[in-house]
Structure 1
Amino acid sequence: MKKILLVLISLLACSGAAHADATLWTYTGTEGPANWGKLSPDYVMCDKGQNQSPINIQKALNTPLARLQIRYTAAGKDIVNNGHSIQVGFAAGNTLTLDNTRFELQQVHFHAPSENEIEGKSYPLEAHFVHADKQGHYAVIAVMFRIGKANPGLAKLWRQMPGEAGKPTLLKDSFKPVDLLPKSLAYYRYSGSLTTPPCTEGVRWLVLKNPITASRGQIEAFEKVMKHHNNRPIQPLNARVVVK
C-alpha cells in the first residue's frame, strides 16, 4: 500500500494536479523555476539534478531506434485547469510499449511556449503525453505545435477548457489521444526529468520530430487562460547524449 501511495503522489506532482502543491511553486516570481529547489526538501533535484528537462535538442546521434509501439484506444475522461496547465485525464487502455515495458497513458497536458527546443527552435505550444509503468517510472511523448490550421483535437478540448483552476470535469466531446499525434512518429530520445517539481529524473523522453498545427487563436486562448508562460527554462545537457 505504501508503494502505491508513493506512485500516486509522484504522478500528481508530475502533472501539477495536487491542489495543495499548487501553492508551493509557480512559473513566476520568488516561487518560480529558479527557486523550485529551495521551496521544499522534496524538490532538491530541481537544483541538484544532472539530467534535467527540458533541453535544447541538437547534434543528435543517428541510432537505430525502435518504432514507437503505441496503442491508444480509450477516450479522454476529464479535463482540469490545475493552476499550472490544462490537463486531460484518461481511463486505462492507452499504452506505450518501450524497452519491453508497458507504460499506461495517465494524462496529457500543455505548455506555452514549448519547453523542449529542437536545434534552438522554440514552438508556441507543446503537449506532453505522460505515461507510467507499474513501478512508477515515467515515459513522456512530446508533441510540438506550429502556427497553421486550427487543430480539430484541440478544438474539442478548448470548447471545455476551464477558465479557472478547480476540480476536473467530465469531457462532453469524445477526444482520443491520437487526435494530437502527427502521422509520422519519428522521434528524438533522451533521458531526462519531470519538468515540474519534484523534477524526478530517470524519465524516458520521446520528442516527436514532426510538429502538428494549431491556429494562432487556439494558442492565444490557452495563453489567456494560463495568464503567463508555463514553460520551465532549458536545462544543461551535461554528459547526456540525444539519439534519433
Structure 2
Amino acid sequence: MKLSRLALVALMIASPLQVALAADWQLVLSDRNRRVEIDRGSILTSDRGTKVSWGRVVLANNEVAAAGYATIKALNRYDCQNRTFSTIKRVYLDADDNLVREENVEDQTPLRVTPSSVDERMWREVCGPPSVADLQRVADEVQKLADSMQPRLEAAAPAAPKASAPAPAKAGQSAKPATTQPARAAPIETATSTAQTLRAAEPPKAVDAAPPNGAVDKGDKKLILPPLPNIRPAKPDPERVEREAPKPATAETVRKAEKSAPPARPGAARRPEPPRAVVRETPRPQTPAPVALARPQVKAPSVPATPAPPDPVEVLLRAQRDNAFDPGWRYEGELGPEAWGRLRPDWRLCSEGTRQSPIDLRDGVAVDLAPVKFHYRSTGFRIRDTGNTLQVDVGEGMGVEIRGTRYALERFTLHRPSQERVGGMAYDMAAYLEHRSADGRTAIVSILLEAGGAPNALLQTLWNNLPLDRGREFVPDAVIDLNGFVPENPAHFLYLGSLPVPPCTEDVIWVVMKTPMPMADDQLAVFGRLYPRNSRPIQPANGRLVLESR
C-alpha cells in the first residue's frame, strides 16, 4: 500500500509531457471521431476499495480544429465495489502533445457506471481481475525493492562477536572449548570483582569441604562461581549499600569464621568461609545453569518508519475547495453539456427541461415590440476567470426595462461562438448581460458580436485587464461604457427560455438584439486562445412562441 501511495504521488506531480512519454496506452474502443485509450501502467490501488488510473480520448484530425485540442487526458478514481467513478483531473494537449491547459475537478460526486457505455468499458479495464502480466510486473517491482534494500541491511548489521581462543590444556587434560559469556550489567560486575578480591585473600579450603551456595569444586581447588543472570538490577539504595557493604577481613573476623565453620573430616585442611555479606551482595541461582555454546544471533537493524505521504486525492480536493470560481462543469468532455443533468440532482432540468436555451431563432412572429429601455452608464468592474469563460461583475444602479418590469444588471459573460442561432447562423461571439427583478425573475440580454470590423473599446479594456491565472479575479483602476456597447437599432427577439448553464433554471426572459456589434479580428483571436469553444448546443424549441421586431 505504501508503494502504491508513493507511486500515486509521483503520478500526480509529474508533468503532462512526462506522463505522456512514460505511459503505456492501450486501445479500449474507437470510432470515426475518436480513440479511447487507457494507461494500464498507471492503474494503482488507492483506498477503500478504489483504484486510480489515467485514460485519454484522442480526437480525429477533423475534430481537432473545432475542439481546440487534440487529446484530453483524465485521471479517474473507480469504485470497484459500487460501480461508480469520479474524475480528479483533466489535461488538454494539442497535436504535438504541448499543454493547452489543465484543470482539477471540484465536484467529484461519484457517477454511476452506465451499462454498455464507454465508462463501463473503462471501469472493467481498471477493476477487472489482474492478468498474468500484471501479476508478474508487481512481482518484479517487489523483487527490485528487496534487492535495493539488501545492501543497506548488510551495511547496517553489527559484526558478530568473535569467540575467545581456547586456553592451552594442561598435561593429561583435553582442551576446553571456548565459551561466550553473556554480558553483565555494570553494577553486578562491580560487586563480583569485590567478591573475587576477598576470596583471593582467604587461606586454602579443605578439598572435601562442601562447596558453599552451589559453587563447583574443581581439581585445582579454586572456587568457581556460576554465571550470573543477565539482568539489570534496580537502582541501589545508597543507605542500604553502605549498611550491607562487606567489611574488610581482619584476624578477629577469620577467628569467628573458623569457630562457626562445621568440623572437617580427619586429615582435611580447614579454611574459613567467605563473609556472608558477599553472598548477599551477589545473589546466585539455586541450580547453576550450564553454559551452552550458542550461535550469536544477528538482529537486523531497525529501519525508521517512513511517514506515509498525504493522500493525493485529499490534496487535490483541498486545492479545489480553495478555488471558489470553478463551477464543476465544462463545455466538453465528461462534464460537458450532455452530462450536466446527471452531475447533480438539482441540475436535472438541463436534460429534462422543455424550455431550455439557446435555440435557433427562426419562424418568429413579427410584431411591433416595444423597445427595451436601457439604463446603462460607465462603471468600474471586476473581471473573473471561471475556468469556462470570462465573467464581468459591474457596479449597481444599472438595468433594463422590459414590458414595464425593471431588471437590475448584475454581470455579463462572453462566449465563442454565439450560443443562439439566427436563422441557423451563429455569430463570432456574444455577450450575455444577466439581470434580476425585485421578485427574483431573471432576464438575459444577448448582444451579438461580429469580427472583421473596428476594435471594440469595451472588449479591449477587458483584454487589457485579464486575470493572470485560471480561477483568479482582478479589479482594475479602469471603467467600461456599457451604454456604448448596446446597438442603436432597438430591434430584437423575445422568448421564454432558461439559464444556458447549470442549473438550467427555466422561465428566463431572453432578449436577443438583432443588430450585431463590431469587433476586430485580433480581439476574437485573443478570446479564442483562452477559450477555444464555450457555447451550449442548440436546444429543442418544443413549439415555443418567439416574438420578433418588424
**Alignment gaps of 5+ in structure 2:** 1-321
Secondary structure of the 2:537 match is coil
Secondary structure of the 2:480 match is coil
The answer to whether structure 1 residue 29 and structure 2 residue 333 are counterparts is: yes
Query: Aligned equivalents of 1:26 and 1:116: distance in 2?
Result: 18
- Does the Cα contact within 8 Å between 1:151 and 1:213 map onto a contact in 2? yes
The answer to whether structure 1 residue 117 and structure 2 residue 400 are counterparts is: no
Deviation at 1:20, TM superposition (A): 5.0
Secondary structure of the 2:410 match is strand
Query: Structure 1, residues 127-172: CA drift from partner, whole Å, max 9, x if none?
Result: 0011011232110110111112211111111111225322432132
2:448 alignment partner in structure 1: 144
1:235 alignment partner in structure 2: 539
Query: Aligned equivalents of 1:40 and 1:79: distance in 2?
Result: 27
- Pairwise mapping of residues 165-244 of structure 1 onto structure 2 (< 5 A)? 165-226=470-531, 228-244=532-548
Instruction: Name the CA shift for 1:172/1:179 in 2 (closer, same or farther; >3 Å).
Output: farther
Which amino acid counterpart does residue 188 of structure 1 have in structure 2? Answer: F
Deviation at 1:38, TM superposition (A): 0.4
Secondary structure of the 1:213 match is strand
Deviates more, 1:156-165 or 1:41-50: 156-165
- Does the Cα contact within 8 Å between 1:27 and 1:229 map onto a contact in 2? yes
- Does the Cα contact within 8 Å between 2:324 and 2:471 map onto a contact in 1? no
Query: Aligned equivalents of 1:82 and 1:24: distance in 2?
Result: 10
> TM-score normalized by structure 1?
0.88
Query: Aligned equivalents of 2:369 and 2:397: distance in 1?
Result: 25
1:164 alignment partner in structure 2: 469
The answer to whether structure 1 residue 108 and structure 2 residue 412 are counterparts is: yes
Query: Aligned equivalents of 2:463 and 2:484: distance in 1?
Result: 13
Q: Which has the higher strand share?
A: 1
1:59 alignment partner in structure 2: 363
1:84 alignment partner in structure 2: 388
Secondary structure of the 1:37 match is helix
Query: Aligned equivalents of 1:19 and 1:185: distance in 2?
Result: 40
**Alignment gaps of 5+ in structure 1:** 1-17
Deviates more, 1:110-119 or 1:165-174: 165-174
Deviation at 1:173, TM superposition (A): 2.1
Query: Aligned equivalents of 1:20 and 1:81: distance in 2?
Result: 11
Which amino acid counterpart does residue 505 of structure 2 have in structure 1? Answer: T
Secondary structure of the 1:30 match is helix
2:373 alignment partner in structure 1: 69
Secondary structure of the 1:62 match is strand
Query: Aligned equivalents of 2:377 and 2:323: distance in 1?
Result: 29
- Does the Cα contact within 8 Å between 1:194 and 1:203 map onto a contact in 2? yes
Query: Aligned equivalents of 2:366 and 2:354: distance in 1?
Result: 23
Which amino acid counterpart does residue 186 of structure 1 have in structure 2? Answer: A
1:127 alignment partner in structure 2: 431
Figure out how many residues of one structure are paired with residues of the other and give that number.
Answer: 226
Query: Structure 1, residues 109-136: CA drift from partner, whole Å, max 9, x if none?
Result: 1000110110111111000011011232
Deviation at 1:23, TM superposition (A): 5.2
Instruction: Name the CA shift for 1:33/1:51 in 2 (closer, same or farther; >3 Å).
Output: same
Query: Aligned equivalents of 1:67 and 1:178: distance in 2?
Result: 15
Deviates more, 1:202-211 or 1:22-31: 22-31
Deviation at 1:19, TM superposition (A): 5.0
Deviation at 1:26, TM superposition (A): 0.5
- Does the Cα contact within 8 Å between 1:187 and 1:206 map onto a contact in 2? yes
Instruction: Name the CA shift for 1:21/1:41 in 2 (closer, same or farther; >3 Å).
Output: farther
Query: Aligned equivalents of 1:141 and 1:28: distance in 2?
Result: 25
Higher RCO (CA 8 Å, separation ≥ 6 residues):
1
- Please identify the structure whose Cα radius of gyration is greater: 2
Instruction: Name the CA shift for 1:214/1:74 in 2 (closer, same or farther; >3 Å).
Output: closer
Secondary structure of the 1:46 match is helix
Query: Aligned equivalents of 2:541 and 2:345: distance in 1?
Result: 24
